[in-house]
Chain A
Amino acid sequence: MAAPTATELVRRFSPAERSLHWLLAGTFLTMLATGLILTLPSLAELAANRQLWKNIHLGAALAFWVGLLALMSSAGPELRATARELDRFDDDDRRWLRWSVHRQGEEPRQARFNAGQKLNAAIVAGLMVVFTASGVLIYLQETSAAFRGRTSAILVHDVATWVSIPLILGHLYLATVNRSTRHSLRGMILGTVRRDWARRHHPKWEETL
């Protein structure tokens, strides 16, 4: 095997991982846009056709879960392995979280996902469950009196939205604007990243390739 060169491309994300990412990105942005149209008074005129936006909103939610099921049934073991990778934080990950706050000294060496990405994935996964549970309750409240006045489903759905927006804005900034990290977008679109970039940002993973 030839010696690795700095500019050669190495595979970071598998097709199943990329599919899951873009499934979530597409359905989440659709739900965010239609949700804001349905809820912001300043966009209320646009929302005059409430039923249409509602159908798109609920359709996107359904598409996400159906798509997730389809991906889990076709690439379940692989995606579960990715989930385990995201779940476990080693000593370097914990040091990285502290380092990310004070930014002093050397960046603790990270594997394929850095600790911030792991944390983001866990929060987003939790939010998906919270959004779905509160969303189903809102739907039931609107269709049946038996569910009304029992829960603060709208409040929970709103709070989850206001937590999601800074998360997604930060994510978009790092993926498209911030010079040192935006190369990772290539990995999420095409699957591959440059080896020298991988060595700088994810050395513990790059060594294993």
Chain B
Amino acid sequence: MSDIRLGRRTFLSVVGLGAVGLLAGGRLSGAAAPLGRLVPDGVGNLVSAGGWRIYAISPPWPSFDPASWRLEVTGEVEQPVKLTYDELLALPTQRQTSDFHCVTGWTVGDVRWEGVRLAELWDRVQPKPTARYANFVSMEHPYVDTLTMEQTTLGGVMLGHRMDGKPLSRAHGAPVRLVIPEMYGYKNVKWLTRIELTRELRPGYWELNGYDVDAWVGRSNGY
């Protein structure tokens, strides 16, 4: 009778597979992303495959009350405004399908957004020539993030109030969030309540925690 050390072999195989997975790096995550899209939505919501992870910084999540909520645009503008939810929805709405990339490594592909281009808003408030940055302030205190005025009119940037055919859910930043697919998720401020145009750069919440100000997907934060 001969004993074989099948236990050790099994243990080392599992560890080896894990090491290959870790070392294969981003390539493997990229290859697995289409698999996530094969998972039906219902299952996708239950398991994490291809799905969202909901990040927040100071619980509980802000609640949206249509009666009292306002979107305020202030700072270096000629015509400050305070929009109600209905007034926001009444602005011309654009549709787009874009990918959402998180800086921690996950991606959700083909998110269907509906929302308002910032150019539309700038037409109403008339930014002064001194306005160089837009600060997007969340109801989730102290979350804030910043774009340059040029960045606010990039192709995919919008104030998204509908996602995948439904009003933006609380988890995703109801009633409206910034959408900028060109940059990582932390620039896509949720639960928006105020936009302040300024002369000077004010670093956002995650920038103060060591992340890049210009969070270009694939070209920042060590990628």
Contact = CB atoms under 8 A, between A and B. Distances in A.
A45 B18 contact: no
A83 to B, nearest CB: 8
Interface in A140-177: 141-142, 144-156, 158-160, 162
Interface string B137-166: 000000000000000000000000000000
Main DSSP-derived SS at the A contact region: helix
28 contacts: A38-B53, A39-B53, A44-B53, A45-B54, A45-B171, A48-B54, A48-B59, A50-B56, A83-B7, A87-B7, A88-B7, A91-B1, A122-B9, A122-B10, A123-B14, A126-B13, A126-B14, A130-B15, A130-B18, A138-B104, A148-B221, A149-B223, A150-B25, A151-B26, A152-B22, A158-B48, A159-B21, A160-B18
B7 A50 contact: no
Contact of B29 (A119, A137, A152, A160): A152
A123 B17 CA distance: 11
Contacts of B11: 122-123, 125-126
A88 B26 contact: no
Nearest to B6: A89
Contacts of B25: 150-152
A69 to B, nearest CB: 19
A86 interface: yes
For the complex of A and B, the 10 pairs showing the least CB-CB separation, nearest first, are A126-B14, A130-B18, A87-B7, A44-B54, A122-B10, A149-B223, A48-B59, A145-B222, A49-B59, A156-B21
Contacts of A94: 4, 6
A148 B105 contact: yes
Interface residues of B, number: 53
Nearest to A159: B21
Interface in A39-91: 39-42, 44-45, 47-50, 83, 86-91
A129 interface: yes
Nearest to A49: B59
B56 A48 contact: yes
A45 B56 CA distance: 10
B211 A152 contact: no
Interface residues of A, number: 53
B6 A154 contact: no
A152 B24 contact: yes
B5 A50 contact: no
B54 A41 contact: yes
A161 B132 CA distance: 46
B61 A134 contact: no
Contacts of B9: 122
B28 interface: yes
B73 to A, nearest CB: 28
A162 B39 CA distance: 15
Contacts of A40: 46-48
A207 to B, nearest CB: 15
Contacts of B211: 145
Contacts of B223: 148-149
